[in-house]
Chain A
Amino acid sequence: MASWQWFHRMGSPKWFYEKMRIWMLALGFLSCAMIMVGMVWGLAFAPAELKQGNSYRIMYVHVPTAIVSMGGYYVMAIAGAIGLIWRMKLSFMVMKSTAPVGAILTFLGLFTGAVWGKPTWGVYWVWDARITFMVILFFIYLGIIALQEAYPDKDMGDKAAALLSLVGMVVVPLIYKSVDWWFTLHQKSTFKLTEKSTIDPSMAYPLILMIFATYMFFAWMVIYRTRVEILYRERKTQWVKQALLGPA
């Protein structure tokens, strides 16, 4: 039983709020520092690409945001599942905080993709498998946020959104596969998407750094937003008053 204590303690918003303060600060500092280093490294010091010249450098934003936006969906869905199964209020708050972060990262991935597409393919938008999948993922994120917002009752909204994100977890891989199949069926072979089978280490290192940095940024944002959500939802409790106003 003792081994489960940490799990139950984690269910307490107060514990989370207090313990995560230091994590929030550390992740915030680390992710900002890493993003700065990665950006300068990728934008200024990494060599220019042979065919694309300098325009490929948007990859250092595009790839990490796209990767984390997909990972973020699973964080959200698993948090929702924990909330539904163990009736843990805190994990609904995590889920609620994750959804907008994931949606914004998905949007950033799409936006940077469009900006990158113009110099590379000559158009902003291509109905490519991955782009199409990202758009649908973006809509799923928005749908979950919309459902949660539509409920006047917070508890019901939490549970409904959690259930929807679980349903999404079953369907999202299916969407990914079917969009992929659809694209290979329709491909006109005018665009080559994956021409870089090997990436030079001098280009890869800043990319790896940026992927880590974006993951940390994601974690930072989720913790930050969850702490705000905790304060809002627990605003009538004594400990929140004490934490914010000092001991009375």
Chain B
Amino acid sequence: MSEMNLAQSSLSLALWINLKREVIVAVRHKGELANPLMFFLMVVVFIPLGISPEPKVLAPLAPGLIWVIALLATLLSLDGLFRSDYEDGSLEQMLMSPQPLAIFVVTKILAHWLMTGVPLTLIAPALGLMLYLPAEGYGAMLLSLFIGTGSLSMIGAIGAALTVSLRKGGLVLSLIVMPLYVPVLIFGASAVTSAVGGDKIGLEIAILLAMFLTAMLLAPFAAAGALKIGTDA
């Protein structure tokens, strides 16, 4: 019985300690934290320059554009997800620890989401303003990005784990992850579009949530398996 308790407490302890570690490491690398956000902002500046500054033109495009750019920004941040741990050997320590590797992966994904997905969601309203997103769309945009970026981090973690040992894995990572992002993009962007059109968004949000939960169930194990392949364990 005591052994059982010990195992359980050490599991949650490992989860907690790792999450703390990930957040601290992320906060101390402020530059890496800001990069996806800067990318997000810069691309949004490009759009009026490339297409048109007219509100009439930009407003209907805004929901989809914001979602596509958020997706690309997430994609850019993925490469570093397991890279430093792989290079300095922390990953091997995690592999050797008594806790399952999936636990560590969960904390890494969670930290990644907190450090990229959530900030992206928080600055999205500013970008909505710049692209003349109609006022009805903001709530749906915040909600769909908040849930959707979680799925993006989960699915992306699998790709990051699969390419962790490749020296130039960045491009391959984007190639393998992008097709897998299609369902999230479809339902995320259409939640915002329906909200702008005055429709209910319950269906889209429910499906986004379902995808998030399914990804949470499966992705850590897939990513852990991929990490084992990458480290040749």
Q: Is B119 an interface residue (CB 8 A)?
A: no
Contact B186 A163 (CB under 8 A): no
Residue in B155, B162, B182 whose beta carbon sits within 8 Å of that of A136 in the complex: B182
Q: Which residues of A contact B155 (CB under 8 A)?
A: 171
Q: Which residues of A contact B133 (CB under 8 A)?
A: none
Contact A163 B222 (CB under 8 A): yes
19 A–B contacts, CB within 8 A, in A order: A136-B182, A140-B179, A143-B178, A144-B176, A146-B175, A147-B163, A150-B168, A160-B226, A163-B225, A164-B158, A167-B180, A167-B222, A171-B155, A171-B180, A175-B179, A175-B180, A175-B182, A178-B182, A181-B186
Q: Is B218 an interface residue (CB 8 A)?
A: yes
Contact A175 B226 (CB under 8 A): no
Q: Which residues of B contact A171 (CB under 8 A)?
A: 155, 179-180, 183
Shortest CB–CB separation between residue B182 and chain A, in angstroms?
5
Given contact pairs A156-B229, A156-B232, a sample of 20 additional A-B residue pairs in the complex whose CB atoms are under 8 Å apart: A140-B180, A146-B175, A147-B176, A150-B166, A150-B172, A151-B165, A156-B230, A160-B226, A160-B229, A163-B162, A163-B225, A163-B229, A166-B222, A167-B158, A171-B155, A171-B179, A175-B180, A178-B186, A178-B187, A179-B186
Interface residues in B142-167 (C-beta closer than 8 Å to A): 155, 158, 162-163, 165-166
Complex Cα spacing A86 to B166, Å: 25
Q: Is B169 an interface residue (CB 8 A)?
A: yes
Q: Is B116 an interface residue (CB 8 A)?
A: no
Q: Which residues of B contact A159 (CB under 8 A)?
A: 229
**What DSSP secondary structure best describes chain B's contact surface?**
helix
Interface residues in A146-164 (C-beta closer than 8 Å to B): 146-147, 150-151, 156, 159-160, 163-164
> Which chain B residue has the least Cβ–Cβ distance from A161?
B162
Interface residues, chain B, CB within 8 Å of chain A?
Answer: 155, 158, 162-163, 165-166, 168-169, 172, 175-176, 178-180, 182-183, 186-187, 190, 211, 218, 222, 225-226, 229-230, 232
Complex Cα spacing A174 to B207, Å: 11
Interface size on A, residues (CB 8 A): 28
Contact B183 A174 (CB under 8 A): yes
Contact A139 B179 (CB under 8 A): yes
Contact B190 A182 (CB under 8 A): yes
Q: A178-B187, A185-B190 are in contact. Are A146 and B225 (CB under 8 A)?
A: no
Complex Cα spacing A144 to B163, Å: 12
Q: Is A168 an interface residue (CB 8 A)?
A: yes
Q: Which residues of A contact B172 (CB under 8 A)?
A: 143, 146-147, 150
> Which chain B residue has the least Cβ–Cβ distance from A136?
B179
The 4 A-B residue pairs with the shortest CB-CB distance, nearest first, are A143-B176, A178-B183, A159-B229, A139-B179
Q: A147-B162, A156-B232 are in contact. Are A168 and B180 (CB under 8 A)?
A: yes
Shortest CB–CB separation between residue B133 and chain A, in angstroms?
19
Shortest CB–CB separation between residue B202 and chain A, in angstroms?
15
Contact A150 B169 (CB under 8 A): yes
Q: Is A170 an interface residue (CB 8 A)?
A: yes
Q: Is A142 an interface residue (CB 8 A)?
A: yes
> Which chain B residue has the least Cβ–Cβ distance from A183?
B186
Residue in B163, B179, B186, B211 whose beta carbon sits within 8 Å of that of A150 in the complex: B163
Q: Which residues of B contact A170 (CB under 8 A)?
A: 218
Q: Which residues of A contact B230 (CB under 8 A)?
A: 156, 160
Complex Cα spacing A136 to B182, Å: 8
Contact B180 A182 (CB under 8 A): no
Shortest CB–CB separation between residue B210 and chain A, in angstroms?
10
Complex Cα spacing A163 to B186, Å: 25
Q: Which residues of A contact B218 (CB under 8 A)?
A: 170
